[in-house]
């Protein structure tokens, strides 16, 4: 187990600088165009694949970094480049985490390569959990998975929403209800292979921000999956459901939930993305305040502006520290006894939203125009207090964890 450190080693610094170069030279020049087009930026993702940035090998190397800092460091630099393009490049990761968290070794080896493809044939994946009436309230999920014992097949029916890469992905990972009587405890995750009949894209959403990231509904109409597409396998599912039924009968503790296990593992990663957006906006505001003159002096000479920048930088550094702590804890196998993963996502998301608003204020009228990137950054940051657990849900998770009380 690596000791916690706040200093990147030489290899990590090299990777960081490499990603930063891609973000500065490829992502930033293309960001405004793809934001306006609101289309999946295949050329940018393909270029990332060409240099090895969008690949299973790269993310595996960062995921298994013994310090835990590989993934958050990479996320911060990519999202410093642009959040919409960053999500297009990293959106497959949530589905990959779903397989890593819930799948067998054989399933991991089978499906992860198909999620990324290779430089000559780029693929993407989608994680499908939220539904029209079940977002933060995962217990309200209605998508059903029924086991056809005679054929050892699972039949999935329902509609998923807010799915990143939904409908255009090569591989979809779908969370569905297998035992309605158990609420959130009765869920399981399934891999839907490419070309499976019955899966289709529904509505594609036109969003306030992160417009280069494809977000859509996924409709499942009699989707038939072979038994091996159940992540973890039938025996493991049966054991887990039996334990859950016994705990329900005796009023015992909560058990594993497939969707929440995926989100909990990804929260520090999402926090790192928010840090990248906040840092980018802060840097634009700092440069503007130093070079823009009003009343015969640089704007930063005014305490009202200088103090805002001081607060912005302080919040960004604090958010990064929370993200790094949670990432290190997860890699070191230390339990989140105070919901440290949720803390990092909560604080970083709120920081991104606040810092981008402050940056726009410092730029004044220019900040409100599309000639400067802070307008786009502000729109992009808004989602970080909403998706993968709203700020309110994060606070609920933290409160329940520190109090051991089922707060509602």
Catalytic residues: 388
Which residues face 230 on adjacent strands?
190
Q: Which residues contact 158 (CB under 8 A, 6 or more apart)?
A: 131, 142, 143, 144, 176, 220
Q: Which residues contact 254 (CB under 8 A, 6 or more apart)?
A: 185, 247
User: Which residue is it, tokens 């804890």?
Assistant: 329
Backbone angles phi, psi at 122, to 5 degrees: -70, 135
Q: What is the dihedral of CA 157, 159, 164, 170, to 10 degrees?
A: 30
Distance between CA atoms of residues 194 and 164, nearest Å: 16
Q: Are 238 and 176 in contact (CB under 8 A)?
A: no
CA nearest neighbour of 216 among 39, 28, 4, 395: 39
Backbone angles phi, psi at 84, to 5 degrees: -65, -50
């Amino acid at each position: 187990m690596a000791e916690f450190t706040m200093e990147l080693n030489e290899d990590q610094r090299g990777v960081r600088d490499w990603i930063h170069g891609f973000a500065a030279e490829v992502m930033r020049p293309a960001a405004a165009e793809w934001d306006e087009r609101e289309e999946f930026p295949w050329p940018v993702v393909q270029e990332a694949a060409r240099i090895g940035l969008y690949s299973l090998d790269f993310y595996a190397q960062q995921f298994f970094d013994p310090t835990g800092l590989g993934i958050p460091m990479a996320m911060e630099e990519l999202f410093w480049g642009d959040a919409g393009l960053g999500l297009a490049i990293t959106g497959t990761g949530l589905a990959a985490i779903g397989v890593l968290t819930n799948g067998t070794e054989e399933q991991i080896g089978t499906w992860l390569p198909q999620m990324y493809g290779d430089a000559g044939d780029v693929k993407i994946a989608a994680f499908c959990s939220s539904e029209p009436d079940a977002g933060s309230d995962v217990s309200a999920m209605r998508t059903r998975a029924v086991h056809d014992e005679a054929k050892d097949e699972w039949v999935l029916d329902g509609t998923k929403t807010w799915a990143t890469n939904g409908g255009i992905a090569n591989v979809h990972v779908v969370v569905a209800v297998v035992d309605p009587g158990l609420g959130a405890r009765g869920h399981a995750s399934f891999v839907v292979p490419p070309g499976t009949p019955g899966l289709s894209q529904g509505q594609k959403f036109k969003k306030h921000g992160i417009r280069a990231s494809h977000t859509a509904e996924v409709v499942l109409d009699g989707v038939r999956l072979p038994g091996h597409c159940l992540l973890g396998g039938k025996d493991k599912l049966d054991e887990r459901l039996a334990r859950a039924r016994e705990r329900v009968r005796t009023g015992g503790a909560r058990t594993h939930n497939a969707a929440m296990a995926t989100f909990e593992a990804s929260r520090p990663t999402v926090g790192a993305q928010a840090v990248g957006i906040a840092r980018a906006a802060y840097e634009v505001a700092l440069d503007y305040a130093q070079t823009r003159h009003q009343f015969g002096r640089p704007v930063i000479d005014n305490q009202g502006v200088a103090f805002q920048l001081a607060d912005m930088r302080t919040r960004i550094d604090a958010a990064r520290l929370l993200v790094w702590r949670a990432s290190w804890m997860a890699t070191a196998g230390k339990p989140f006894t105070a919901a440290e993963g949720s803390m990092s996502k909560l604080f970083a998301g709120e920081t991104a939203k606040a810092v981008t608003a402050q940056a726009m204020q410092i730029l004044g009228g220019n900040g409100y125009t599309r000639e400067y990137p802070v307008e786009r950054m502000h729109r992009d940051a808004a989602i970080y207090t909403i998706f993968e657990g709203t700020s309110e849900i994060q606070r609920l998770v933290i409160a329940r964890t520190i109090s051991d009380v089922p707060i509602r």
